[in-house]
A and B are shown apart, each in its own frame.
Chain A
Amino acid sequence: MELIEQFQQAIVNGDADRGADLAEAMVTEAEVTPDEIMDSLARAMEVVGGRYETGEYFIPEMLRSADAVERSLAILEPYLFKRRHDQAGVVVMGTVKGDIHNIGKNIIISALRASGYEVHDLGVNVSTSKFINKVKEVDADLLLLSAFTTSTKPALVDVIKALEAEGLREKVKVVSGGASHSAELAGEVGVDGFASDVKSTLAVCRRLMDQRRE
């Protein structure tokens, strides 16, 4: 098996030690391009997400792979991202005020990092002003809002209103998601995109980044 395939397999299996060793090897010895590495990482997290959807993986298995992503990215990052424009995009993400669910958010963050995004994680129970300040500070391309309980709809609306008031609404694309989040709710709130699993989240983010570049 090629190094890059072994690496992808290690991430899917959540073997952080092996993933780190292989990352090291790819950076130092092999002729693997940054693009190939990013592809394999993103594909690995899609496989992990898929296994969760089919019931083969549970939450600890997803967290194990997320951990393996973080470990190997720590080694790969200097090699992968030499300039800001190597990044797929700059993301600010957090769980909205009144909501403390963070598992899905963290999985998405790992998948985004694995796909080359620079992600700023604001944690849970995040106030509107914290979102706005961070978006300004890092000049974010995308703002991802996790909202797991439907009672957090007012918090979502509040963030959108604040973006408008600050003149940022056209600058940053907003995506929402979470366990009990529906496309319908996302539509009512007026975000630019909605997704319910790893694969569709990556696709939505890619599409919105393409739109921004146009």
Chain B
Amino acid sequence: MAVLAGETPDMVPIVPVLDGYFAPKVLGRASDECWLNGGCLADCLAAALERFGYDGAVAEMGLGPQPSVLGCPVEVEGNDVPLVVENIIGGREDLDRLELHDPWAGGKMEPVKRLIGSVGARAVVLGTVRSPFEYAATVRGLIEFMTDFYRDSEFVRDLIEACKPATLAVGRALAQAGVDALVIKDSFASSSMISPAHYEEFAYPAEAEAIGELKTEVPVILHICRNSMPILPRMARTGAAVLEIDAPVDLAAAMEAVEGRVVIKGNIDAVAVIEKGSRESVEQAVLSAIAAARGRGPFILSTGDSIPISAPEDNVAALVEFGRRHGKYQGAEPWS
């Protein structure tokens, strides 16, 4: 919290993207059980925080904030991730099929409150919501959506606009439920997927608008995974307090690009290091991240993206252990 308030803490805070993908494993539950039953997910997230002792939990409401909030059917089976089973937008004529469901309906915010109740006193709790661009891609189907960029750019813009209320409604509901900050996921806006020019044209406007409105309630963290280097300076101008960056980005260069104006959160490789690496490679990755960030501005140690369920628990524990061991600030200058 000190970092979000603009202060220098005495230790590098550690908030990995340990969310609904990995958390079920901690209590030996199946993914589908947790995605469908938010109470189970809340308990797993709390248990993970308890077990590993990092500084912030990532609240997910089960399938609530998924595209089902816009009337898109989603299913999940066993340890698979949730799948959208029908892309409800086949074209412009379907725009009125988008109906915004109340994020509070059916007790969907209860798990978030439950998580805050159990860990809120000792850790920050982050709520997760998708950007209008990401909702649009999901209700249309990613391939059709990106083909539309050249086929009908006006439709793309209208669809994104039509999805914005979902981002705002879920964001506000989470803020009301009491989260300390919101993570806005805009994964498809990544320069690993679309050009910086398309980011500027389609993703940025709605992203910045949504952040502008939501940050009046709580600070906002903007997540764009894979390569975000070309658009980082722009992301830093969305009004987000924190930018979550992924492993392909050079951490030192990223921190220099934003010149300390926003907090950088990242960027240990969730797959190569946490899922597939050894204890030694986790230490190495933590050491180089902390070294890259030192002296360059406010920093939160994190994975670059969600930790997969197949990652070993020992590597998550090692991330926190080495983060604590190597993450002490010691100089007179802030962040040194």
Contact = CB atoms under 8 A, between A and B. Distances in A.
Interface of A: 14, 58-61, 63-64, 67, 98, 100, 102-103, 106, 125, 149-151, 180
Contact of A58 (B142, B143, B195): B195
B67 to A, nearest CB: 14
B194 A59 contact: yes
B63 to A, nearest CB: 16
Contact of B149 (A60, A98, A125): A60
Contacts of B195: 58, 60-61
A60 B271 contact: no
B198 interface: yes
Contacts of A149: 308
A63 B147 contact: yes
Nearest to B142: A103
B333 to A, nearest CB: 37
A103 B192 CA distance: 13
B158 interface: no
A61 B194 CA distance: 9
B80 A60 contact: no
Given A100-B83, A103-B143, A106-B143, A60 B150 contact: yes
Closest 8 CB pairs of A and B: A60-B149, A60-B146, A58-B195, A63-B147, A64-B150, A59-B193, A151-B310, A58-B194
B65 to A, nearest CB: 19
B147 A64 contact: yes
B271 A63 contact: no
Contacts of B146: 59-60, 63
B198 A60 contact: yes
B270 to A, nearest CB: 12
A180 B271 contact: yes
Given A102-B143, A125-B83, A151 B194 contact: no
Contact of A98 (B80, B194, B276): B80
A149 B81 CA distance: 12
B22 to A, nearest CB: 13
A18 to B, nearest CB: 13
Contacts, number: 41
7 contacts: A58-B191, A58-B198, A61-B195, A63-B143, A63-B147, A103-B142, A151-B310
Contacts of B194: 58-60
A58 B80 contact: no
A69 B193 CA distance: 21
A64 B144 CA distance: 10
Interface string B146-188: 1101110000000000000000000000000000000000000
A63 B143 CA distance: 7
Interface residues on B, range: 10 to 19
Nearest to B188: A59
B193 to A, nearest CB: 5
A14 B151 CA distance: 10
SS class of chain A's interface: helix, strand, loop or mixed?
Answer: helix
Contacts of B81: 100
A60 B310 contact: no
A56 to B, nearest CB: 9
Contacts of B80: 98, 125
B48 to A, nearest CB: 20
B198 A151 contact: no
Contacts of B142: 102-103
Contacts of A63: 143, 146-147
Contacts of B83: 100, 125
Nearest to B276: A150
A106 B143 CA distance: 9
A199 B37 CA distance: 45
Interface string B273-291: 0001000000000000000
Interface centre among B83, B150, B276 (most CB of A within 10 A): B150
A125 B84 CA distance: 12
B45 to A, nearest CB: 21
Interface in B54-82: 80-81
B76 to A, nearest CB: 12
Contacts of B198: 58, 60
A67 B147 contact: yes
Contacts of A64: 147, 149-150
B53 to A, nearest CB: 27
Contacts of A150: 271, 276
Interface string B193-225: 111001000000000000000000000000000
Contacts of B143: 63, 102-103, 106
Nearest to B156: A60
A129 to B, nearest CB: 16
A58 B147 contact: no
A103 B144 CA distance: 10
B308 A60 contact: no
Nearest to A15: B150
A27 to B, nearest CB: 24
